[in-house]
Each structure stands twice: as structure tokens, then as C-alpha cells.
Amino acid sequence: MIRILAVLLTALALVAPVQPASAQSDPQNTLVLETTKGNVVIRLRNDIAPGHAERIKQLARDGFYNNVPFHRVIPGFMAQTGDGERGDGRGKSKYPNIKAEFSQVPFRRGVVGMARASDPNSANCQFFITYAEAPHLNGQYTVIGEVVSGMDNVDKIKKGEPVQDPDRITRAFVQADKK
């Protein structure tokens, strides 16, 4: 009995370290947001939303997200940002809208989704980070990533709709591009 238990514990020890790939293992698909509350690291899901992941990376490389406010932050729901044109949630980028890439990935704490208008194919540049499970978004909004580090900093972002004197993304970059 003790031998069986020892074998089982050894087998579990070998299996336990196997976890999903971290953002550090794919710097090409890791977005770093330097914010007024601290860094937020996002693993972009190019496996389920390749068009959206590419757009986010392009806009980060363009500097579009630098000094952009978190313009809509609802406690217990989400923090929205990414309007590098107007800063109030009504702007977009110079690029065309993106076709929806819905998946079976559920919206839960730390999941990053692409904001859009009523047309499912109207996502452009804005995104949001969920504070909690949000099943009403499942299959309705494109999941583009998940926070792998810094969710505590997202929790500190000033709340409001609109936010008065909002916290900001001071700089956004793709980890592979960091100099």
C-alpha cells in the first residue's frame, strides 16, 4: 500500500508542473500595459482570435495605446480602454473594423475581450478586462486574451462611467519588441 501511494505521489509530482504556457514562453503574443496603477501582462489568444490579436499588436506597435485612459470602469464587471482616437469610448483606429472571432472561451476574471458596437463585426481598437465571471458576454464578444500578471493593478483602476480623471495606459508594447 505504501509503495502504491509512493508511486502515485511521484506520478502526481511529475504531472503537476505541466500547466498552460505562460506569457513568457510566447513574447510575440504577450502584450504589456504599463499603467498608472502598475503593469498588466496579457497573453494574447492568437489561437482563437488571430485577427484581433494582430490588430492589438499593430496598434501597440503604432503607439496608439500610449497615454490612453480607462474610460469606462464598472465595479464587479469590467475596465474598458483602447480608444486612442478620442479617449471617451467613441473613437476608433485608422484601420477597418474586424470580423468577429467568437469562441467557446468563457468570460471570467482576467479575460480580455474586444469591445464593439451592436454589430458583431464592429470591433476596432477598444478592449476590456473583466473583473468577474460575465456569462452574458459568452459567444457575444471576441475573447482576445487573458491577464497573466497584474490583475491586482487592474483592480486598483479608478471606477466610473465616465471616469473622472481616469487612470491610463502610459505605454503598451508587445513583449518581443521591448528594447
Residue 6 pLDDT class (50, 70, 90 cuts)? very low
In which element (H, E) is residue 128 found? strand 127-130
The whole model's pTM is what? 0.86
Return the DSSP state at 100.
-
User: Which of 71, 173, 150, 174 lies closest to 115 in space, CA to CA?
Assistant: 71
Question: pLDDT digit string (tens) for 100-155?
Answer: 999 999 999 999 999 999 999 999 999 999 999 999 999 999 999 999 999 999 99
Architecture of domain 28-177: Beta Barrel (2.40)
How many Å apart are CA 175 and CA 7, to the nearest integer?
Answer: 41
| CA distance to 3, 30, 87, 124, 153, per residue, from 172 (Å) | 53, 11, 15, 17, 15
Question: pLDDT digit string (tens) for 8-67?
Answer: 333 333 333 333 444 458 999 999 999 999 999 999 999 999 999 999 999 999 999 999
CB-based contacts of 153: which residues, under 8 Å, 6+ apart? 35, 37, 38, 39, 40
Q: Are 56 and 35 in contact (CB under 8 A)?
A: no
Domain range summary for the chain, segments of one domain joined by +: 28-177
Question: Which phi and psi (to 5°) does residue 53 adopt?
Answer: -60, -45
